Amino acid sequence: MDLNTLWFILIAVLFTGFFVLEGFDYGVGILLPFLGKRDEQRRAIINTIGPVWDGNEVWMLTAGGAMFASFPHVYATFFSGAYLALVLMLLALIVRGVAFEFRSKREDPAWRSRWDWAIFVGNLAPALLWGVAVGNLMRGLAIDAQMNYFGGLLPLLNPFSIWVGLVFVALFAMHGANFLSLRLDGELRARAEAVAFRIWIAALPTTVILLAWTFLATDILGQGLIPAVLAAIALVATGIFLKQARHGLAFLLGALTVVFATAMVFAGLYPRILISTLNPAWSLTIHNAASSPYTLKVMTIVALLFVPIVLAYQIWTYYIFRKRVSDKAETLIY
């Protein structure tokens, strides 16, 4: 295995970790206004992800930084072409972070309600936009021979990519509900368990439609068929375990659905990273878009030194905050 392939795999792993961890954060935020009927309940829901959501976002920053260093042409082409979409996502993430911190600064119910809806929007928008981004990676972009993307924002909002975005929202909402069923107690726990199954009922047909559409509109399933099948099996198993009230296994299988779905995309792309719809020869690959061999070698050494430290720290954080959260006011931080 050469370093180009190694870094393609490492970036795939980073994005997979981000979608699994930040996925349930997004899901929790999307469900917040609907699961929490009272202020204490909404505070309890926020406290399930309060200590970890910003750490989960580090996976996105690390993936973006790794792409910038290992495949700078991909970073330049995609991030420049999707600039407006990325600005919208960034604004939503800013609103989300501010809302987590400001929500409980005042006792006013109207103040807290506004920030609750800000949390909802700040989680829904990134979940949808990440799906749109992945949909365009699968479908391809109008990239010319000089690695420039033409089209702006509107072509990115095509029916296929929007459908991928809706699937992301559904899967993340289900993932968030499964997470809440493991982290909440009492009435909220029962409510999260019931909602998880209802969302699964919606997520299953939307995902099946996406797989069929992917087969017809892209070539991703040529190399990504096996992880696609595994993702479908994991999603069906999630519903079975939800029906049996085995919520730990349901959460695990929901996470595996996200893992296999991400693997499907990256496996289907390889060795391409950005597909050109103008001319397949103009696609950006792990070879023509990569940094120098020396840069990749240095980055590999740095990654081997620091990634285990980051993983150990995050595992320790989840261990410390492993207990269930109730809606008792004296136990809530946020």
Beta bridge partners of residue 184, listed in sequence order: 325
Beta bridge partners of residue 174, listed in sequence order: none
Is the predicted pLDDT of residue 194 greater than 90, yes or no?
A: yes
Are 193 and 243 in contact by the 8 Å Cβ rule? The answer is no
284's enclosing H/E stretch is strand 284-285
pLDDT band at 330 (very low <50, low <70, confident <90, very high): low
State the architecture of 3-140+148-331 in CATH terms.
Up-down Bundle (1.20)
Are 272 and 234 in contact by the 8 Å Cβ rule? The answer is no
pTM of this prediction?
Answer: 0.94
| Domain ranges across the chain | 3-140+148-331
From CA 328, how far away is CA 41, in angstroms rounded?
9
Render pLDDT for 261-300 as a digit per residue (tens, 0 to 9): 999 999 999 999 999 999 999 999 999 999 999 999 999 9
The mean of the pLDDT values for the chain is: 92
Render pLDDT for 73-126 as a digit per residue (tens, 0 to 9): 999 998 888 888 889 999 999 999 999 989 988 889 999 999 999 999 999 999
From CA 301, how far away is CA 284, in angstroms rounded?
25
Is the predicted pLDDT of residue 178 greater than 70, yes or no?
A: yes
From CA 131, how far away is CA 122, in angstroms rounded?
15
Q: List the single range of 29-33, 232-236, 246-250, 328-332 with lowest mean pLDDT.
A: 328-332
